[in-house]
Amino acid sequence: MSSLDVTNVVIVGGGTAGWMVAAAFSKILNLKKIGIHLVESEALGTVGVGEATIPHIKYFNRLAGLDEQAFLKATNATYKLGIEFVDWGKLGDAYVHPFGPYGMDMQSVHFHHSWLRQQKKGTAKPIDEFSLAGMAAKAGKFQHPRTDLQSSPMSSIDYAYHFDATKYAEFMRSVSESRGVKRTEGKVVSVKQNIDSGNIESIELENGQTIDGDMFIDCSGFIGLLIEKTLKTGYEDWSHYLPCDRAVARLSERLDELVPYTRSTAKAAGWQWRIPLQSRTGNGYVYSSDYISDDEAVATLNEGLDTAPLSEPRLLRFKTGIRKKTWNKNVVAIGLSAGFLEPLESTSIHLIQSAIARLMTNWPDKTFNQPDIDYFNRKTQEEYEQVRDFLILHYHGTTRDDSPFWNYCRTMEIPKTLSDRIAIYKENARLYREDLELFSPVSWFAVFNGQNITPARYHPLADTLDDASLELRMTELHRATQRCLEVMPQHEVYLNKVIG
């Protein structure tokens, strides 16, 4: 071991972010050499929402050594095959952003080009009927992918989970503590910085206890206790692109049929989520306080509940954007302390997991090499911007003109990165994946098409096949998807079998 090695890591905060960090670190790092100490205040509590995820969560759970059966049981979880968007493109519309492809790429071009060719000819079947994940979601069916059936649509469906965020943190806490993570209950009241470097040396708790560290992971939530209150790092505000700044959340009874998808319904000043768990449903209205009062938001949420309420409405405030540096000196902000992108595509927990992976790749020593830190910050910024653009598309790519909120979103200025992407898609339907960006062309297409944004043309190579061959292939793909759907079990039956 070198004297420069980081041997003492302190995590401030025990919400989803803090315990995800602890679970990952305790699995990957050698706890005989590196001490991990998490401090949290039960009195302050956690944000307590964050129940829908995207497929990458499976890799995190595997990396953290979580067993799927134990995890499903402990967190009241259900499977998730995608998100249904209702009333987004225009009132009366509905589409699914599925986890998994549509059809199959042909002649080296994305499937959607072949579908657009058929659409121009008037022979296309609805796009959703080429997505097994999307069809299964709406039919209330689920099973794990069959990787042994390589050419079947069954091999390529993907999935995530809905779960109880509080139980997920508790589950990861038990795993982390069993591996040697030390936890201290208490409120951090002051922070000591090195006079020369400004690095944080220790935190002090309300009871007078001092905790030293070489590196501090700020998982303290929106407040950003270390990254902002102490280091004054600054925040880039993106509210002009994503104007929702509040949410009211409320639990209700479980759905009669446990559907394997999240539903997002666009409303007059935002949108309402419905997240089905085994024993209850999570609901919330994400809205802009410029366009609707809190009381009106509560009334809208209540009107939109499908089952009887189980809790009182809870108000949450947020500001969309990103910390100017998510790694500053010897503090790395992960979770809500790093930034916030609203939960429309269930990305926050993924951004936690991705920050953990990036930190492992750039694991520092006590010199805290600035070029490494700059790289980390640049990549984090890019990742947030790419997700931000994807979210903006849902709001901006609408024809809704039934409220001042939608008039603003439809006509607002958008980032150039997104307007360029829209311009390319509108011309020839081409979709690119920038670097390692989170959302694939399939996801971008699902939203472009779902929001009724129609391209003028499609990829010229989609004309390579003659008409008869194209029709035959499309019919076969459609038939294969329907056959797979028929044999898939109902989601709840399957889930109960897995849980045992």
Ligand X SMILES: Cc1cc2nc3c(=O)[nH]c(=O)nc-3n(C[C@H](O)[C@H](O)[C@H](O)COP(=O)(O)OP(=O)(O)OC[C@H]3O[C@@H](n4cnc5c(N)ncnc54)[C@H](O)[C@@H]3O)c2cc1C
Give the residue numbers marked as catalytic. 80
Would you say 116 or 181 has its CB closer to ligand X? 181
Q: How far apart are CA 212 and CA 396, in angstroms?
A: 47
Strand order in the sheet with 82-86: 94-98, 82-86, 262-267, 270-276, 280-287, 246-253, 314-317
For ligand X, what does the binding mask look like between residues 142 and 181, x meaning CB under 6 A?
A: -----------------------x----------------
Choose one: 7-15, 137-145, 451-459, 480-488; the region binding ligand X (CB under 6 A): 7-15
Q: Is 187 in the site for ligand X (CB under 6 A)?
A: yes
For ligand X, which stretch binds (CB under 6 A), given 72-80, 84-92, 336-344, 370-378? 336-344
Residue 387 binds to ligand X (criterion: CB under 6 A): no
Within 10 angstroms of residue 280's Cβ, the number of other Cβ atoms is 18
Compose the 219-248 pattern: x for residues touching ligand X by CB under 6 A, - for all others.
xxx-x-x---------------------x-
Q: How far is the CB of 231 from ligand X (least distance, A)?
A: 15
Taken in order 222, 225, 226, 229, the sign of the CA dihedral is positive
Task: Select from 362, 14, 66 the least CA-distant residue to 182.
Answer: 14
From CA 440, how far away is CA 267, in angstroms rounded? 27
17: enclosing H helix or E strand: helix 16-28
Binding residue (CB under 6 A) for ligand X from 335, 364, 397, 450: 335
Q: How far is the CB of 321 from ligand X (least distance, A)?
A: 13
Exactly one of 23, 24, 160, 188 binds ligand X (CB under 6 A); that residue is 188
User: Phi then psi for 144, rounded to 5 degrees?
Assistant: -65, 155
- 288 lies in the binding site for ligand X (CB under 6 A): no
By CB under 6 A, how many residues form the interface with ligand X?
Answer: 39
One of 18, 153, 313, 364 touching ligand X (CB under 6 A)? 18
Question: Among residues 11, 66, 336, 480, which is the contact residue for ligand X, using CB under 6 A?
Answer: 336
Contact 6, 215 (CB under 8 A): yes
Q: Which is nearer to ligand X, 53 or 377 (CB)?
A: 53
CA distance 500 to 194: 54
Joined tokens for residue 414: 């958008």
How near is the Cβ of 365 to ligand X at its closest, in Å?
A: 26
Closer CB to ligand X, residue 22 or residue 373? 22
Least CB distance to ligand X at residue 323 (A): 12
Q: Does 441 bind ligand X (CB under 6 A)?
A: no
Residue number with CB closer to ligand X (14 or 441): 14
Q: Around Cβ 140, how many Cβ atoms within 10 Å?
A: 17
Residue 55 is a binding residue for ligand X (CB under 6 A):
no
Task: Work out the widest C-alpha separation in the chain, in whole angstroms.
Answer: 78
CA distance 328 to 308: 46
DSSP letter string over 387-453? HHHHHHHHHHS----SSHHHHHHHHS---HHHHHHHHHHHHH------TT-SS-HHHHHHHHHHTT-
Cβ-proximal residues to 499 (8 Å cutoff; 6+ apart), any chain: 69, 72, 73
Task: Specify the residue, 17 or 258, whose C-beta has the smaller distance to ligand X.
Answer: 17
Using the rule CB under 6 A, give the single segment among 35-43, 287-295, 303-311, 411-419 that binds ligand X: 35-43
Residue from 130, 318, 445, 448 binding ligand X (CB under 6 A): 318
- Is the separation of the CB atoms in 185 and 41 below 8 Å? yes
The least distance separating ligand X from the CB of residue 48, rounded to whole angstroms, comes to 7
- Report the distance separating Cα 48 and Cα 229, nearest Å: 22
Amino acid letter, 112:
H
Cα–Cα distance, 169 to 64 (Å, whole number): 13
- Between 221 and 450, name the residue whose CB sits nearer to ligand X: 221
The pair of structure tokens assigned to 495 is 């889930």
357 binds ligand X (CB under 6 A): no
Nearer to ligand X among residue 103 and residue 335 (C-beta): 335
Q: Nearest-5° angle of CA 253, CA 256, CA 261?
A: 90
- Quick check: 39 binds ligand X (CB under 6 A)? yes
- Cβ proximity to ligand X, 41 vs 281, nearer residue: 41
- Least spacing, CB of residue 221 vs ligand X, in Å: 3
Give me the residues that bind ligand X (CB under 6 A), please: 12-18, 39-41, 44-47, 49-53, 165, 187-188, 219-221, 223, 225, 247, 249, 284, 316, 318, 335-337, 343, 346, 348-349
